[in-house]
A and B are shown apart, each in its own frame.
Chain A
Amino acid sequence: MNLDFSTYRSGDYYDELIDVEGVPRPWARTLVEHLSSLDGAELNRRRAAVDAAIITMGITFTVYSDGSNIDRAWPLDIIPRIMPKEEWRHIEAGLKQRLTALNLFISDLYNAQSIIKDGVFPAEIIAGSKNFRPQCVGHMPRFGVWAHICGTDLVRDRDGTVYVLEDNLRVPSGVSYMLENRMLMKRVFPELFKLCDILPVDDYTTRLFDTLAALSPRPGERPVIAVLTPGIYNSAYFEHSYLAQQMGAVLVEGPDLMVAADDCVYMKTIDGLRRIDVIYRRVDDDFLDPETFRADSALGVRGLLRAWRRGNVGIANAPGAGVADDKVVYTFVPKIIRYYLGEDPIIPNVPSYLCIDADDRSFVLANLDRLVVKPANESGGYGMLIGPRASAAERAEYRQRIQADPRNYMAQPMLMLSTAPTLAGDGVGPRHLDLRPFVLQSDSLYVTTGGLTRVAMREGSLVVNSSQGGGSKDTWIVEAQ
């Protein structure tokens, strides 16, 4: 039996590929026609080929609670998510605008703090921020850029509007899945790439290399770039090794490096010590340098911050960049864009309520059953309350947490996340998804073509995080047809 899209409906939600009448959107028509023409056995064969390739290639996402088995296949749904190029160009401009403003904001916070003096941003938010690093005050990295690699989560609401859900400025992951998904789709559906005009994604690693190379303290020579990973037990280890391999960089762990008396960073090689110019670190600030941050960290390098402040090594993302990766700071981003750039935000924020604000707080506490409440500094979907789906006891417990530490919480209305057709059993059903494009900035700005589409594989679920059982889709930006 062939895949049947004719009865597919996404109900109240905006669907990326099929409209409310059940008609494929113009940019999805070729895909839907083609998939409908494949019989069930053929489709299953292709799906099995993808699953087998994922297992063989070891594209895995470690889940901490999995115990002895540290690999887990990261499911790829073979029906892509498609966006027309015109819409994408608009989003791309919005992402560049946003990261530019955020970097100006971080530079300002660690230096003149004009935005606070001008009364646009409240000082007490900085005072309560876990990610504001006093050790960075007075420092200005090259190009004034702190967050060189940003993963921005976008969602689409019921009316079709795309919002920024959060800015990941610390160590965002997922870009390798975007690249591998495309490679797998090309292997398994080569004919689709002839039928549809799909923009390529694979220049990312080259652009990442250029972005990092621009940070070298020894311009003119080919820089020695290292990707610093916490090691094979980290959930994104696959990505760390993948990116290092693709860039021709060295994959290092903390104990591979040392800072010598000259305040330069060296790696330990079979031929003695060799200087490193740029570190793409995938280790959190807290663990980066036991001399400056957590003294018990075995993942970092003693003296690394010293070497960076002396300008002897480039670090991406810079220590302290995470100050802008905070769900409370997030609510100020539209103001931040207006303040530094004098422009209106191209992509809107999701309307948000700050618990530090008395009026907002009482609104949040009165409407816990209708809102999604998030802690300011968690990522990966940990620690949030989905009000409409929580029990009364969970809401009561959360209420106390908010009252104890209002600075640390913000709330948003429950979004009607958009859907796309996803294989389920023998048929196809709507599943919720988001989109994480990656934005690069050093001497220039770059946005991936599309990004990583994460999909909640369980029916009705809104949690797309890979650490919580989500899957992914290839993301196609297509020329209009």
Chain B
Amino acid sequence: MMLVLSRVAESLYWMTRYLERAENTARLINATTQVLLDLPRGASFGWDVLLKVAGLDRLFEDEYSEQDEANIMRFLVTDERNPSSIVSCICVARENCRTLREAVPSLAWERINSLYLFVNSRAAQAGERTRRYGILEEIIERLQAVIGLLGDCMSHDVAYQFIKLGRYIERADMTTRIVDIHAAVLVPRQQVPEDPTIGLLWMGVLKSLNAYQSYRRHVSVHVRTADVVNYLLKDPHFPRTVQHCLDEIEACLAALPHNMAPLKLLRIAQRRLDAMPIEILAPALRHEYLDAVQSDLAAIHAEIAAEYFQLYEQPDAPQAAATA
């Protein structure tokens, strides 16, 4: 077994969680901007939905009085008071990487550092619609370059499992939130099943997850609520579905020592996902299911922290654990 410090494992985990969060936020903003252009005047969908999806609506209300596009963009992209803004996420990822410079390829640090310098000087321009797409795409590209580098230039050893765990737990959480967008926006208007707004919205959701093309190829050219939800939650092959993330998390845990407790929690999440009757599920009920899946993911996170990170938190570790 390769030697991985608890502190290092924890930093690797958070570094990729925050990189993933920054990428998801950038995708979400870009997809939403596109959807908004297509919506008819007076549609109930607004920028505030982004805040609800990210679970940041309360924090936003504490900081801003008006929910307009400019404020929401500032809050999601550059605001350092928002720990999940793109700039905050990249800053935290960079601080974690700083403490890891011997554990990751040196080029990864260079790329994260240069991304940090880029967002610090340029991200504010994402407030302007004409420049937003380009800036956010560049951020996404650079984030993918980091992930690609880690995957290609780092040994896929025990330490690497924590990089993947951070990524897939964050991603699964984000996908459940994005799927829940339906509940956040359209519950009161559910009477009209083929409301064209719904179709546009799901198309936006698929695009935000880069899943539109593959959905069309593997499921249907028509965008139906139940089909999209089913695809994004249960398809095992597309890398942003909840099912795929759970499979990856399971594979990571299988490669780690002392994995009984977290694996047990993973199976609970899996059973809950399997049991979801998507065809007949009303948005409100689906919202409850998705909430429960999010809690399951939080429980897996807590167990991973307890199993692998906590030894470091205790100043005098139990001596019984000593092995030479």
Contact = CB atoms under 8 A, between A and B. Distances in A.
B319 A260 contact: yes
Contacts of A275: 324
Contacts of B1: 271
A291 to B, nearest CB: 12
B142 to A, nearest CB: 12
Interface string B293-314: 0000000000000011101100
Contacts, number: 102
Contacts of A245: 101-103, 106
Interface in B211-262: 256-258
A56 B7 contact: no
B6 interface: yes
B9 A273 contact: no
A255 B109 CA distance: 24
B323 A241 contact: no
A2 B109 CA distance: 36
Contacts of A260: 319, 322
A251 B7 CA distance: 10
A262 to B, nearest CB: 7
- B interface majority secondary structure: helix
A256 B5 contact: yes
A303 B50 CA distance: 53
A212 to B, nearest CB: 15
Interface stretch (B30-38, B81-89, B110-118, B263-271): B110-118
A56 B117 contact: yes
A232 B322 contact: no
A241 B322 contact: no
Dominant secondary structure at the A interface: mixed
Given A56-B114, A242-B101, A271-B258, A250 B5 contact: yes
Which one of A238, A250, A266, A272 has the greatest number of beta carbons of chain B within 10 Å?
A: A272
Interface string A241-252: 110110001111
A410 to B, nearest CB: 38
Contact of A58 (B5, B7, B109): B109
Interface in B149-177: 158, 162
Interface in A190-218: none
Q: Which 7 A-B pairs have CB atoms at the shortest separation, nearest pair first?
A: A241-B101, A245-B102, A244-B102, A270-B308, A268-B311, A251-B102, A272-B321
Interface of B: 1, 3-7, 9, 95, 98-99, 101-103, 106, 109-110, 113-114, 117, 158, 162, 256-258, 307-309, 311-312, 315-317, 319, 321-324
Interface of A: 55-58, 224, 227, 231-232, 237-238, 241-242, 244-245, 249-253, 255-256, 258, 260-262, 264, 266-275
